[in-house]
Amino acid sequence: MEKPLNEDLQDQKGKQFKMLTREHRKDHKDVELRSEELQDIMGKIPHWILRTGITILFVVVLVLLIGSYFFKYPDVITAQVVLTGSTPPAGIVASTSGKLEILGTEDNQTVRAGDYLAVIHNPARTEDVLYLKGFLDSLDLERDSVFMMPEKNLQLGNLQSQYASFYITLFNYNEYMRLQYYPHKIKMTEERIVQYNQQYQGLIRQQKLTEEQTALIDKNHVRSENMHEKGGISGKELDESRSRQLQGLLSEENMLTSLNNMRIQIAQMKESLIDMEYQHAEKTNEFRSQIRSLVSQIRTDIRSWEMNYVLMSPIDGKITFTRYWVSNQNVQAGEEIFTVIPTSEFQLIGKASLPIARSGKVKAGQQVNIRLDNFPDDEFGMLNGVVHNISLVPVVSGQSMYYVVEIGLPDGLHTNYRKEIPYMPNMQGSADVITENVSLLERFFLPMKKLLKGGLE
């Protein structure tokens, strides 16, 4: 009997499956054999590959070490900086509250040091004070013997009493010098001394004649005595001769007395002349000393008046209004009214506020990179600076302390982008002080060095 068709098909599938199973097992054994051979090959790396890899790794590490030694990374301390000049802009502040009187001053006007820019209302007239100030400057107290008189009716406010004393003293001095009381007396005394000297010379001549006359009388008396001894003359005639001799001697003594009296009178007149000259000099010096003292006091009062009421330019430059000001506008004490920007050439410097932290690393001569707030450094670049000076004592401001560092700008306002920045007063920014260039290798060993020192201690 023939088997059914289904059973034949099943028998064929079974035989095929067995054949596939045998082939699969055979292939699996071949793969296992090949894997073992591959593992043997992979487990044995050639020596030249090892040597090459180690050499390359060593070279890479060596290059990194050498590069880290030569590659410097700057140590930077940042501080706030303000650019100013050797003659910084001068802010003009009101010292007193009151109404402002603008004295023809305009914005951006060129002014000179000492110019009046504005005045705060006060009892004195500004024109009168300026007149008095100019008058005092014109006085030459060392050379002038007579002074011009100033205007009498001036409105000077608090300076009025001092000016009144000055005016009266100056008037009295001029009157004293005009009358010439002592000089006239001195001149008259000098003339009398000349006359007395002439009389004295006449008396000296008379004295010589008297002495000659007395000598002749003495000779005649000697002859009379000889003749009387010989009986040539009587005793009466001898007595008369003796009387003439005595009269001659008396005349000679009187002449000596007159000469002495004349000398005394001349000496007294010379003494009186010295006294008058001294009194004249003393009176003159007293007046001039009073005038000097009053001039000094008035100048002091004018300076005080200027400090209280006058807004004056301290430097040459251009004036800038801090806001729009008009006459009769009220201002408060301490309020800044004007700023004068110097126009003369000056040296540009930076004033940096250096924090206390790490400030000991900053030294003169170190390089500084300055970034200005007004001009972004990515567009305009940075300014090159050099540390010039460091304050010895820190500045205390509120709760913070800092050192003031003066930074020079050798290239001025030329940046590292070759751009010139226009000068603006008090430009602010940040200053990066490069204290030292430390290599990466040194920075790598710094923590280890710190740990070693800490462990040893």
Token pair for 435:
């204290």
Which one is predicted more confidently, 338 or 368?
368
For 51-176, strand residue ranges (E) read 72-85, 90-93, 98-102, 110-111, 116-120
Task: Classify 100 as helix, strand or coil.
Answer: strand
- Cβ neighbours of residue 121 under 8 Å, at least 6 residues apart? 98, 99, 100, 101, 309
Q: What is the pTM of this model?
A: 0.56
Q: Which of 266-280, 300-314, 346-360 has the highest mean pLDDT?
A: 300-314
Question: What confidence tens digit (pLDDT) does each residue in 379-406 have?
Answer: 899 999 999 899 888 888 888 889 999 9
Question: What confidence tens digit (pLDDT) does each residue in 301-323 have?
Answer: 999 999 999 888 888 888 888 77
CA 127 vs. chain centroid, Å, equals 31
Judge whether 264 and 199 are in contact, CB under 8 Å: no
- Nearest partner of 419 among 366, 380, 375, judged by Cα: 380
Q: Is the four-CA dihedral 154, 156, 157, 163 of positive or negative sign?
A: negative
- Cβ neighbours of residue 370 under 8 Å, at least 6 residues apart? 81, 83, 350, 382, 383, 384, 385, 407, 409, 429, 430, 431, 432
The 10 Å Cβ neighbour count of residue 403 is: 19
- Cβ neighbours of residue 344 under 8 Å, at least 6 residues apart? 87, 316, 317
Question: What confidence tens digit (pLDDT) does each residue in 369-379 have?
Answer: 999 999 998 88
CA distance 64 to 318: 59
Beta bridge pairs of residue 413? none
Token pair for 332:
């408060």
- Percent of the chain surpassing pLDDT 70: 80
